[in-house]
């Protein structure tokens, strides 16, 4: 049996109530706007009622201003309740901010006799592959469970801590700007520490920084003195960067409709004279490079006219 009581009504004689068979008395006096009033009400309840029968009423917002209590204010009240060994609370009202759920969960863990072990629930990092001279901006999403909030999150790059933040929530979502990293592989991890100084370390994530792509445009065909009816096969070779690549081919500044993801192209119907070919290559990290102009000379075939004179007719002398 539980009963709500309040000292402002003389009907509720706390000393007399202490001797009843009621299991829990929820003290309405602790629905207080200020911490001082909350503390005073809790001291009075604890001095007149057995601790095992006290239930503390907690309010989510300042009744005088209508503003939600801050995490620090909530933490302060929970800490006082726990210092008295009180194991029952009532909260007014819904919906509860996220930090209320986390702090309430911690309170219940203590009330039930233990705190679940701190552990990683999920951990993602993306993207993890970049080109040299490209700023590495990572999206981190880490969720832990158990332990006692708030949590300290320490971010490590190659084993060295470069950023830290404290949050009451068990979920950390951040955009992490690492700047330009040197070419090669790097490790990323997070150390999480709860209020009880329990520490866990996430698995290492590997960040790959590729060298800038190098390109070579070549052909096995003869590219001088081609005729307009001849075709030419061109191919580009890419080393470095972050595959896959896309290729956009241009002839004399005009994009070819056959541009695609192929590193080879057959070009036909070139104009007579010098034709300038280039290709724009973009890797999956967004790095773009353009080849030097490749010249193909095309000549107009000469038309050869052959003249054959009509043979003259001659009369053979007749024999008499």
Domain ranges of the chain: 2-111, 119-210, 214-299
Q: Which CATH superfamily groups domain 119-210?
A: SOR catalytic domain (2.60.40.730)
| Helix or strand run (H / E) with residue 83 | helix 71-83
**Residue 185 confidence (pLDDT) above 90:** yes
- The answer to which of 42-46, 100-104, 170-174, 205-209 has the lowest mean pLDDT is 100-104
**Residue 309 confidence (pLDDT) above 70:** no
CA dist list (Å): 101 to 59, 67, 104, 254, 314: 13, 18, 5, 62, 122
Assign 306 a pLDDT band (cuts: 50, 70, 90): low
**Residue 311 confidence (pLDDT) above 60:** no
| Displacement of CA 71 from its chain's centroid (Å) | 26
Q: Are strands 151-157 and 184-193 parallel, antiparallel or unpaired?
A: antiparallel
CATH 2.60.40.10 fits domain 214-299:
yes
Q: Decide if 2-111 and 214-299 have a common fold.
A: no
Bridge partners, 92 (sequence order): 59
CATH 3.40.50.10360 fits domain 2-111:
no
Helix H, strand E, coil C: the string for 185-201 is: EEEEEEEEECCCCCEEE
For the segment 83-111, what is each residue's pLDDT rounded down to a tens digit?
Answer: 998 989 999 887 888 788 878 877 877 67
CB 194 within 8 A of CB 151: yes
For the segment 215-239, what is each residue's pLDDT rounded down to a tens digit?
Answer: 776 666 656 778 888 888 888 888 8
More confident call, 123 vs 294 = 123
More confident call, 150 vs 206 = 206
């Amino acid at each position: 049996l539980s009963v709500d009581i309040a000292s402002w009504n003389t009907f509720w004689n706390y000393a007399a109530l202490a001797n009843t068979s009621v299991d829990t008395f929820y003290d309405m006096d602790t629905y207080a706007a200020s911490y001082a009033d909350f503390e005073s009400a809790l001291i009075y309840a604890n001095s007149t009622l057995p601790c095992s029968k006290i239930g503390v009423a907690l309010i989510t917002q300042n009744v005088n201003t209508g503003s939600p209590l801050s995490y620090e204010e909530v933490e302060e009240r929970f800490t006082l309740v726990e210092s008295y060994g009180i194991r029952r609370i009532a909260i007014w009202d819904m919906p509860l901010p996220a930090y209320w759920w986390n702090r309430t969960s911690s309170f219940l863990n203590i009330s039930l006799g233990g705190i679940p072990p701190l552990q990683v629930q999920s951990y993602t990092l993306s993207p993890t592959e970049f080109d040299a001279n490209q700023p590495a901006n990572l999206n981190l999403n880490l969720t832990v469970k158990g332990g006692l909030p708030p949590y300290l999150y320490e971010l490590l790059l190659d084993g060295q801590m470069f950023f830290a933040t404290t949050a009451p929530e068990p979920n950390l979502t951040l955009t992490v700007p690492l700047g330009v990293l040197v070419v090669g592989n790097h490790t990323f991890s997070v150390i999480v520490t709860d209020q009880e100084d329990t520490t866990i370390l996430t698995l290492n994530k590997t960040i790959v920084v590729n060298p800038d792509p190098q390109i070579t445009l070549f052909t096995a065909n003869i590219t001088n003195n081609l005729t307009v009816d001849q075709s030419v096969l061109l191919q580009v070779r890419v080393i470095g960067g972050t595959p896959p690549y896309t290729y956009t081919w241009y002839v004399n500044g005009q994009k070819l409709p056959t541009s695609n993801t192929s590193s080879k192209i057959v070009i036909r119907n070139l104009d007579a004279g010098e034709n300038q070919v280039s290709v724009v290559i973009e890797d999956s990290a967004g790095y773009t490079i353009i080849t030097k102009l490749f010249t193909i000379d095309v000549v107009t075939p000469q038309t050869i006219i052959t003249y054959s004179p009509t043979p003259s007719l001659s009369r053979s002398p007749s024999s008499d």
